[in-house]
Structure 1
Amino acid sequence: MFSLVFSRRYAMAHRLIAGLSEQCAIPHGHNEIVTVTLRAVSPTHLDGAANMVVLFERAKGTWHRWIDEHVDHSLHLSADDPLLDWFAAREPHRLARILVTPGDPTTEVLAACMMAKLNAFLAADGGLLVCASISVDETPTNRVTFDGDPAAALPRPLLENPWWTRADMSISDLDALAPAAANLHGDALR
């Protein structure tokens, strides 16, 4: 069976607040590389003419646009991070550049969210391909690879249809969570 494999590099910043890594509680950045492996949902013989599973441009176009225009140079925060309230109150125009994860934005949760997002893009494009595995290189020496069902790996989402399951360009659900968060944290997110 053929696999289509491609990589994309992006810059990001994050912080981890759950207490397992005090060094990572201060916002800091990484230049990450995400590598995805796609496989045909229904493998067939090559056709003897074009001899492609699908055009690379079709397989990676939406994904690369999402990485380049929304993930690159974004800030990754936990849905529980008080910095969300700070940005909402002081710099609400920057909220669109904040990628929000369920719990700390570790490389593990990012890999699972990204795989789910890519599978949503692929399903919306006809479902010819599926992401079989994803690797995120946080540093030149640290890599997380995921090859399972993202829904089984991720914490239970606050919303029924979180950003990582939708075939849109979203990186958070801050608009949908704002009323609920305002009730929990005051009026900062309004």
Structure 2
Amino acid sequence: MFELVFSRRFSMAHRLIAGAAEPCAIPHGHNEVVTVRLRAAVPMPLDGHANMVEPFERAKSRWHGWIDGCVDHALQLSAADPLLGWFRAQEPHRLSRILVTPGDPTTEMLAALFMAKLNAFLAADGGRLACVHLAIEETPTNTVTFAGDPLGVLPVRDGWWRRPDSSINDLGGAA
């Protein structure tokens, strides 16, 4: 079975406040690479004419636009992070650049949220493709991969990750 595989690099900052990775409690950044594998929802043989599952440009343009325009250089915070209150009070114009996660914005959490978001984009585009595997390289030596149903592992099923729009949070009009 054919799979379309493509990658995108982005820069981010985050902090983890739950205590599992104490050095990460101070805001810091990473340059990350997200790689996705898409598969046809209904596999079909090549047609003897165009001979492709889906044109790469169609399959990746919306996803790459979201990564480049919304995720790149966003600050990733837990919905429970007190920094959200600070931004609401001091810099509300920056709320749209904060990617909010249920719990700490770990690479595992991002892998599930990103896959759910990509599948929302693909479903809205006719559902011809589905993301079956997603990998995020956090550093050159640390990568998290996910395959399966992201909604089955997320602690919260509904949120910005279910909508095929450019949102990265649900802060009420900020995204």
Q: Pick the TM interval, shorter chain.
A: over 0.9
Unaligned runs of 5+ in 1: 178-190
Name the larger-Rg structure: 1
Deviations 1:48-105 (A, max 9, x none): 1110101101100100000000000000000000000000100000000000000000
Q: Which residue identity lines up with residue 172 of structure 2 in the other structure?
A: D
> Once superposed, which parts of structure 1, at least 4 consecutive aligned residues long, lie more than 4 Å away?
none
What is the CA-CA distance between 1:148 and the residue it aligns to? 1.2
Q: Does 1:169 align with 2:166?
A: yes
Give the Cα separation in 2 of the matches to 1:32 and 1:153: 22
Q: For residues 140-159 of structure 1, what are the structure 2 equivalents within 5 Å?
A: 140-157=140-157
- 1:62 equivalent in alignment to 2:62: yes
Partner of 1:181: none
SS of the aligned residue for 2:95 comes to: helix
Deviation of 1:21 after TM superposition, in Å, equals: 1.1
Q: Where does the alignment leave 5 or more consecutive residues of structure 2 unmatched?
A: none
Residues 102-181 of structure 1 aligned to structure 2 (within 5 Å): 102-157=102-157, 161-175=158-172
Q: How far did 1:22 drift?
A: 1.0
The answer to whether 1:18 aligns with 2:18 is yes
User: Distance in 2 between the 1:27 and 1:156 partners?
Assistant: 24
Structure with greater helix share of residues: 1
Offset at 1:156?
A: 2.2
Q: For the residues of structure 2 that align with 1:101 and 1:18, how far apart are their CA atoms? A: 13
Q: Which amino acid aligns with 1:30?
A: H
Q: Secondary structure at the match of 1:20?
A: coil
Give the counterpart letter for 1:18 in structure 2: A
Q: Which amino acid aligns with 2:162?
A: T
Secondary structure (helix, strand or coil) at the match of 1:174 reads: coil
Aligned residue-pair number:
174
The TM-score, its normalising length taken from structure 1, stands at 0.90
Query: Secondary structure, in 3 states, of the residue corresponding to 1:42?
Result: coil
Q: Calculate the TM-score normalised by the size of structure 2.
A: 0.97
Partner of 1:31: 31
Please give the secondary structure, in 2, of the residue aligned with 1:175.
Answer: coil
Q: Secondary structure at the match of 2:133?
A: strand
The 1-side partners of 2:33 and 2:140 are apart by 9
1:103 maps to amino acid: G
Amino acid in the other structure paired with 1:164: W
2 CA distance for matches of 1:156 and 1:3? 29
Partner of 1:53: 53
Identity of aligned residues (%): 69
Deviation, 1:166, is: 0.5
Q: Structure 2 CA distance, aligned partners of 1:35 and 1:109?
A: 15
Deviation (angstroms), 1:176 = 7.1
Residue 121 (structure 1) shift: 0.2
